[in-house]
Amino acid sequence: MSLRYQINIRILISSLFILLLVGSIVIWQARNAVEKEVDSSINLTVQLINFGLSQASQHSYTETDWLLQFNALKETRHLNIQLKTPSGEIISLARKNHSASPQEKPPQWFIRLVDGQHPKVENPITTFGGKQLTLIIEANPLDEISEVWEESIGFFSALLLLSLFTLLAVNLAFNKALKSISVIVNALKIIETGQYGQKLPVFSILEYDSIAKAINHMTGELNIIQQENQALTQHSLEIQEYERQRLSQELHDELGQSLTAIKVMAVTAAHKKADVKQSTDSIVSVCDHLMRVVRSMMHQLHPLVLTELGLKSTMEDLVSHWASRNSELDLVIACTDEVDTLEQKIAIQIYRIVQECITNIVRHAEAGRAIISLEIIDSFNSGRALRLRVTDNGNGCTAEKIKTGFGLLGMKERVNSLGGEFTIETQPQEGMSIIAFIPIK
């Protein structure tokens, strides 16, 4: 069910409820008004007739003529007035009632709702000649009911027009709102396909404009992340291809040449006059060289010590290796024994992050000291986490340079892949701190 349909149904139901409620109140008030009007007219008529008959002797016409003139008054239109003599004769003073035409006459259901029970009033009177008569007054409130019906029709017509105007105004407002929603939905469908460059226009409605700004901000961030991921993926592919090329070159240069030398020396040793000891010593020397080359290549591909001795020993071995090659850099590591219990997938990622950090410090930072801290804490988002912090006192860099550094982006992706948080704190000439929190079970 659409929003427009739901709103229209609610407005219609509310309008009908209001009409029924107001209609009940109007009928109740009309019934009371008719009853009060009729009772007031009867009481006033009785008093005026008594007063008029007492003064009729001062005029030349009789009491019957006076009563006929009185009955012709507009104020007595709700009443039928009769006189009854002591002998029982009825003198009708009724005039022709100016009731509503059939087209203007209220419907019977309205008359039944409004018209109440009005008793016939019989009041004894004495004329100025001393005659004893009985005044009979019977209510005929049709004219009053007709007036109430006309007022009610006008009131309900105005209420109906007001309801229609409200419905029209709401629909016009919703037309504008729904058009804005349609624009937002269509834009989201385009964004869903990965086209994060799609931007929403400025809306005149404040709430929709706030939504549009939030979506535009989100798509802008997604567009930046998409571009970073594309650049990182391309860089990773280039590195992968470079590593394959380097591995192939090393296999060709080292293994290929060494195996060729072993083969030549083995063939030479097969001759009767060959110096077998010299050939075997040469073969052993070449094999030792091959073992060093293979061990170095295996360490570059995956540090076996990480699997055999754990993360702490691997980190200490890594720091020792870099410190021996860079005597001007003071490398310090603080690592607890508890890190050896980490999952293998976390351990290898931490190792690669620290390896990249040290590489960047040696190549770019020109730092004299670097501190690597690795510990498990218990107060990260109500759970346990591994906290890694690598701090140096080198050159630092700007925020723009951070966004273009593939090494830093790669570290961030590694941390994000483990569900962690990665932050960089740096200022030019004030060093750099790389902090990572990785949740653990």
**Residue extents of the structural domains in the chain:** 3-168, 303-439
Residue 99 has what pLDDT? 46
Residue 100 has what pLDDT? 45
Residue 60 has what pLDDT? 47
Residue 379 has what pLDDT? 66
Strand ranges (E), 255-339:
330-335
CB neighbour list of residue 223: distance below 8 Å, 6 or more residues apart: 196, 197
Structure tokens at 378: 């218990």
Residue 127 has what pLDDT? 63
User: How many CA atoms lie less than 13 Å away from 200 in the CB half-sphere?
Assistant: 27
Residue 333 has what pLDDT? 93
CATH H-level superfamily of 303-439: Histidine kinase-like ATPase, C-terminal domain (3.30.565.10)
β pairing state of 330-335 and 369-380? parallel
Same fold, 3-168 and 303-439: no
Angle between helices 3-55 and 63-71 (to 10 degrees): 170
Distance separating alpha carbons of residues 98 and 76, to the nearest angstrom: 11
SS3 437: strand
Residue 97 has what pLDDT? 47
Distance separating alpha carbons of residues 117 and 141, to the nearest angstrom: 11
Q: Are 50 and 125 in contact (CB under 8 A)?
A: yes
Cα–Cα nearest to 49, from 132, 151, 125:
125
Q: Are 415 and 436 in contact (CB under 8 A)?
A: yes
User: How many CA atoms lie less than 13 Å away from 410 in the CB half-sphere?
Assistant: 19
Q: Are 82 and 91 in contact (CB under 8 A)?
A: yes
Residue 357 has what pLDDT? 92
Q: Are 419 and 346 in contact (CB under 8 A)?
A: no
CA angle 305, 307, 311 (to 5 degrees): 75
Torsion of CA 305, 310, 314, 315, to 10 degrees: 170
Residue 67 has what pLDDT? 57
Q: Exposure of 396 by Cβ count < 10 A (0-12 exposed, 13-18 middle, 19+ buried)?
A: buried
Distance separating alpha carbons of residues 61 and 56, to the nearest angstrom: 8
* Residue 104: alpha-carbon gap to chain centroid: 56
Q: Are 228 and 409 in contact (CB under 8 A)?
A: yes
Question: What's the pTM?
Answer: 0.50
Distances (CA, A) of 251 to 246, 290, 317, 366, 404: 8, 10, 25, 34, 33
Distance separating alpha carbons of residues 59 and 53, to the nearest angstrom: 10
Write out the DSSP string of 340-358.
Answer: GGS-HHHHHHHHHHHHHHH
The residue type at 105 = K
Residue 437 has what pLDDT? 92
Q: Which residues pair with 387 in a beta bridge?
A: 375, 437
CATH hierarchy code of domain 3-168: 3.30.450
Nearest-Å Rg of the Cα atoms of the chain is 53
Average pLDDT, consecutive stretches of 10 residues, N- to C-terminus, the chain (441 residues): 74 82 82 75 67 53 55 57 72 52 68 70 68 72 76 82 82 80 88 85 86 90 82 76 79 81 83 80 86 78 79 90 88 91 89 91 90 85 86 85 76 88 88 91 77
Write out the DSSP string of 172-197.
Answer: HHHHHHHHHHHHHHHHHHHHHTT-TT
Would you give the end-to-end CA distance of the chain in angstroms? 46
CA angle 365, 371, 374 (to 5 degrees): 125
Distance separating alpha carbons of residues 388 and 376, to the nearest angstrom: 9
Residue 129 has what pLDDT? 62
Other CB atoms within 10 Å distance of the CB of residue 223: 17
CB neighbour list of residue 253: distance below 8 Å, 6 or more residues apart: none
Structure tokens at 158: 């105005």
Q: Are 196 and 226 in contact (CB under 8 A)?
A: yes
The helix (run of H) or strand (run of E) holding residue 389 is strand 383-392
Residue 102 has what pLDDT? 46
